[in-house]
Structure formats: C-alpha cells, structure tokens
Copies of this chain bind each other. A is one copy, B any other.
Amino acid sequence: MSHPANGLDEVVHQRVRLGILAVLAEAKHADFRYLKETLQLTDGNLSSHLQVLEDAGCAMVDKSFEGRKPRTKVRITKRGRLAFEDEIARLRDIVVRFEKSGRSG
C-alpha cells in the first residue's frame, strides 16, 4: 500500500522552491527582485534555492545588464514545469484524500 506523500520530490516540494516554481509556472519568467519580494526571501536564501533548481534542470538563471544595472532573470524550464505539474497532482491527491476521509472525525 502506497501513500500519495511517498512520491513527493524534495527538489520541488521544499517550501521555498515550491513557491519559486509556482510563481515561475504562472509568469514563465521573473526578476530575482520580484521573486525575492513576492516570496519574502533574503538574497542568500533565494540564491541557494535557485541553485538547487538550476542543478536539477528545473530553472534557468540569466544574468545581464540593463544599462549599468545588473539584472537577474529566472525562467522555468520544460523539465521544471513538468516536475511542478507532477507535484501539483500529488498535492491534489493528498488534499482530496484528506477531505474524503472526513475531517471532523
């Protein structure tokens, strides 16, 4: 007997990374600054989680300049989108399973 929680992937499920992917899945790409503010993260925290997502092939980080201003743009990859959709399907299973079980019991 297997439980829907068993298949969760730590790369995508981890709280901060789930937030990053959720924003990117909605917006396709986002500035570092926007992600940081939306998810209420420090620079260091966001950077380290982006590194994990990049290493797993789930996100791409492009650093460039706009005039003299450095700009960091983050995009979700095809693999990242599939992994996020898989996570959403598993979360839905967990939610539905709990709701079916009768929560007041």
Interface residues on A, range: 35 or more
A38 within 8 A of B: yes
A10 within 8 A of B: yes
A15 within 8 A of B: yes
Inter-subunit contact A101/B25 (CB<8 Å): yes
**Identical chains bound together, number:** 2
Task: Write the nearest CB–CB distance from A40 to chain B, whole angstroms.
Answer: 5
Known: A88-B94, A95-B95, A98-B88. A5 touches B13 (CB 8 A): no
Per-position 1/0 for A13-33, Cβ under 8 A of B: 101101100110110100000
- In the bound assembly, the distance between CA atoms of A28 and B101 in angstroms comes to 11
Interface residues of A in 80-96 (CB under 8 A from B): 84-85, 88, 91-92, 94-95
A3 within 8 A of B: yes
Besides the contacts A26-B97, A26-B101, A91-B94, what 13 more A-B pairs have beta carbons closer than 8 Å?
A: A1-B38, A2-B38, A2-B40, A4-B22, A5-B15, A5-B19, A8-B18, A13-B13, A18-B94, A22-B97, A22-B98, A28-B105, A84-B98
